[in-house]
Amino acid sequence: MAKDVMSESELYKFLGKYGIKTPECKSVGLDEKISFSKFPAVIKIQSPKVVHKSDVGGVILHLNSNEDLENGRRQIIENLKKHNITLDSNDGFIITQMVFGEELYVGSVEDATFGNVILFGKGGIYLELYKDVCYIEANARKDEIKRAIATTKIGELFHGFRGFDYKEEWAINLIESVQKMLKENNIKELDINPLKLTKDGLIAVDARILKGDSTYKEDNREKKRPDFLDNKRVVIVGANTEKGKTGYTIARNARSFEGELFYVNAKGGELFGKKLYKSVNDIEGDIDTAVIVVAAKFVIPTIHDLVKKNLKNLIIITAGFKEAGNEKDELEIARLGKEHNFNIMGPNCLGFYEDSKKLNITFGTGEVHSGDLAFISQSGAVLASLMDRAAELNIGFSHLFSIGNAADLRAVDLIPMLDSAKTCKAITIYIEGAARGRSLCESIRNCKKPIYLFKAAKSEAAKKAAFSHTGNLSGNYAMFHGIMKSLGVHVVETLDSLIFAPLFKDVKNIVVITNAGGPGTVLTDAISNAGKNLYELNASQIAELDKALPPMWSHNNPIDVIGDALPDRYEHALKIADKFDNIDLIYMLITPQDMTDALGTVKILKQHNFKHKVVPILLGGENMREARKFCLDNDILFFASIAQACEFLPQS
């Protein structure tokens, strides 16, 4: 046997050391007399020449005597010859007692992003076809393992499916055994398939282990990082007096900063009533935070000047590095950050915003509302568009980070800082390529705040686009998605969800008020598909609505106020629904019918201070134009479609 591959009999002993059950077995040579007593039995080839036994006829099942086993051995030898596999004295066979039960699977691979990742799910020959598996990071805790198993269809077997009495603890204990095995051994790949689920527990019937030294490495800092959120003296190197230039926009947006702000431009002069220093060296005292907006060739010389000022945080807006083929300079920038222990955001980024200090050093919109949402984005364009969208709808932020090429700072570093930031209540992340995945998992695992994440570069074509855009490679999306879900991350499927989903994070029970039954039914389905509940009206609530609505109203939720409803009827229904306990959201669905006064109806939301969140859904085109404009002008969140309204509801 090759030294890095175990025989099956060796594997059974190895698995037994970790408490993993295996069937009774016996190894025999090519010509050795067979004597086995546990039937029905299975005979399988044991040879390093054969990886997938079933594919070459290397397994014979349902054998009921030693004579059958002898015949089975001869049959396997003939099958292998047809595949040009000739056996020798180093090869042999293993006989095992047959085990009956549902076929499951557990395995592990070494992934470039996360290191060892465990897979668990439906096994057997259809493993690759159905792909009903979950992904579990090697250091996952028990709650993560449970969440991962719950994402599989086969996981229902552990919750009384059709009366089966299988214990979920069996699967959790098995996965924990695999975790221990991976920590104590150099295992490149593990494959236990099938893993039989029986009334007595889980039994590993067939297994394969490939040993080898790990190649997974993370480029982490040895020294403790400065706090990126500690900004008192800020300098903008490349501040510009010419409107339309990035240096001008950033200098303008930064004027509201409550700390000390300095502008640097080699030409000198004045900008927004402040002196333009010709060099960083002309500024007295230390500088904790610097923004660089100069040409790429001047970035490294500028950094050498800044480190003399005890620099803690560097934000490089300038492009022209790894994403443009200039990886050498980007690596040098990263090296300087490590050597002098300062944080680097970028290069090729939009900038940074922190609400508590009114610090806007971005070239996005200057209008950013105060809020409790932090947003980390690997794409400056995505961040800029969502900043603009949020400003329009009065959605506020506590922090904004554009990490760009991520030469240094990534979400993994920022999550712990945000977890400690009092002004941040939720974290959203737009990510294209992930690195230091094991540490990322640990940061998320230890974070007490809800995290919402959108992963781009899911397809092969998108991965190439991401590389040309930010210079970051993407891994296997199914694995990434599965691990994030197991960690409790809300993985969203649209970009808008990054800013809207946190607004609906606590929504469970919903009331719908509508002037049309059909759209109300469609909305009901969408709410159900999102895993939320349509609030059930009780008798007294129905009686109160009876007094305010026409006799033909729906008498259930959705509350159909009928197609001729004017604003006063919506108002009556809203006031009654707002008194309901245990509801989290009221959708006010308005469709364009002959009597509909959409503008008058949305105006109700400015006339009353409702206890519950009320969100209009304005279906239609021209007839909804004035109502939509009123909502925009008055900072009222609204949706233009049923699908849009429900895609932001985080899945439970």
Q: With a cut of 80, say whether residue 128 has pLDDT above it.
A: no
Note the pLDDT tens digit of each residue in 256-300. 999 999 999 999 999 999 999 999 999 999 999 999 999 999 999
Residue 471: per-residue pLDDT: 37
Alpha-carbon span 329 to 29, nearest angstrom: 61
CA contacts within 13 A on the Cβ side of 346: 26
Q: With a cut of 90, say whether residue 545 has pLDDT above it.
A: yes
Domain that holds residue 128: 102-211
611 with 591, same domain: the answer is yes
Helix (H) or strand (E) holding 230: none
201 with 241, same domain: the answer is no
Q: Which of 151, 176, 211 is the last residue of a domain?
A: 211
Residue 364: per-residue pLDDT: 83
493 with 539, same domain: the answer is no
Note the pLDDT tens digit of each residue in 346-395. 999 999 999 999 999 999 877 899 999 999 999 999 999 999 888 888 88
Identify whether 354 is part of a domain.
no
Task: Of 62-66, 225-229, 363-367, give the lowest mean pLDDT range.
Answer: 363-367
Task: Of 74-78, 164-168, 326-330, 415-419, give the lowest mean pLDDT range.
Answer: 164-168
Give DSSP secondary structure letters for 237-249. ET--SSTTSHHHH
Helix (H) or strand (E) holding 569: helix 567-577
Residue 462: per-residue pLDDT: 52
In this prediction, residues 488-502 reach a mean pLDDT of 90
Q: With a cut of 60, say whether residue 397 has pLDDT above it.
A: yes
Q: Which of 503, 529, 563 is the last residue of a domain?
A: 503
Please state, as a whole number, how many other Cβ atoms lie within 10 Å of the Cβ of residue 244. Answer: 7
Q: With a cut of 70, say whether residue 142 has pLDDT above it.
A: yes
Strands 426-431 and 490-491 come out as unpaired
CATH of the domain at 185: 3.30.470.20
Identify whether 404 is part of a domain.
yes
Residue 366: per-residue pLDDT: 75
Confidence band for 9, pLDDT divided at 50, 70 and 90? confident
Residue 2: per-residue pLDDT: 43
Alpha-carbon span 182 to 563, nearest angstrom: 64
From the number of C-beta atoms within 10 Å of its C-beta (0-12, 13-18, 19+), residue 341 rates as middle
Give percent of the chain above pLDDT 90. Answer: 76
Residue 505: per-residue pLDDT: 84
Note the pLDDT tens digit of each residue in 514-528. 999 999 999 999 999
Residue 465: per-residue pLDDT: 53
516 with 581, same domain: the answer is yes
Residue 125: per-residue pLDDT: 77
Task: List for the chain the helix, strand, coil content (%; round to 5).
Answer: 35, 25, 40
Q: Which of 55, 78, 97 is the last residue of a domain?
A: 97
Instruction: Return the closest-CA partner of residue 13 out of 3, 28, 2, 23.
Output: 23
Residue 167: per-residue pLDDT: 92
In this prediction, residues 622-635 reach a mean pLDDT of 92
Alpha-carbon span 524 to 642, nearest angstrom: 10
Residue 4: per-residue pLDDT: 60
481 with 571, same domain: the answer is no
Helices (H), 185-297: 246-253
Residue 470: per-residue pLDDT: 38
Residue 650: per-residue pLDDT: 65
Identify whether 37 is part of a domain.
yes
121 with 87, same domain: the answer is no
Q: With a cut of 70, say whether residue 147 has pLDDT above it.
A: yes
CATH of the domain at 409: 3.40.50.261
Residue 314's DSSP bridge partners are 290, 344
* pTM of the complete model: 0.86
In this prediction, residues 538-547 reach a mean pLDDT of 97
Q: For tokens 């996981």, what's the residue?
A: 155
Identify whether 637 is part of a domain.
yes
Residue 516: left if φ>0, alpha if ψ -120 to 50, beta else—which one? beta
Query: At a CB cut-off of 8 Å and minimum separation 6, what does 3 contact?
Result: 211
Identify whether 222 is part of a domain.
no
Give percent of the chain above pLDDT 70. Answer: 96
Strands (E), 229-328: 233-237, 260-264, 270-271, 274-277, 289-292, 313-316
Instruction: Return the closest-CA partner of residue 595 out of 570, 614, 617, 632.
Output: 570
Query: At a CB cut-off of 8 Å and minimum separation 6, what does 606 contact?
Result: 634, 636
Q: With a cut of 80, say whether residue 72 has pLDDT above it.
A: yes
Q: With a cut of 60, say whether residue 214 has pLDDT above it.
A: yes
113 with 199, same domain: the answer is yes
499 with 513, same domain: the answer is no
Alpha-carbon span 264 to 262, nearest angstrom: 7
Alpha-carbon span 460 to 468, nearest angstrom: 13
CATH of the domain at 237: 3.40.50.720
Tally of structural domains, the chain: 5
Alpha-carbon span 290 to 312, nearest angstrom: 8
268 with 313, same domain: the answer is yes
Identify whether 339 is part of a domain.
yes
Identify whether 356 is part of a domain.
no
118 with 155, same domain: the answer is yes
From the number of C-beta atoms within 10 Å of its C-beta (0-12, 13-18, 19+), residue 607 rates as exposed
Note the pLDDT tens digit of each residue in 405-433. 999 999 999 999 999 999 999 999 999 88
340 with 376, same domain: the answer is no
Alpha-carbon span 55 to 83, nearest angstrom: 10
DSSP 21: B
CATH of the domain at 48: 3.30.1490.20
Phi, psi of 577, deg, nearest 5: -65, -30
Q: With a cut of 60, say whether residue 148 has pLDDT above it.
A: yes
398 with 311, same domain: the answer is no
Alpha-carbon span 191 to 360, nearest angstrom: 51
Residue 402: per-residue pLDDT: 96
Identify whether 574 is part of a domain.
yes
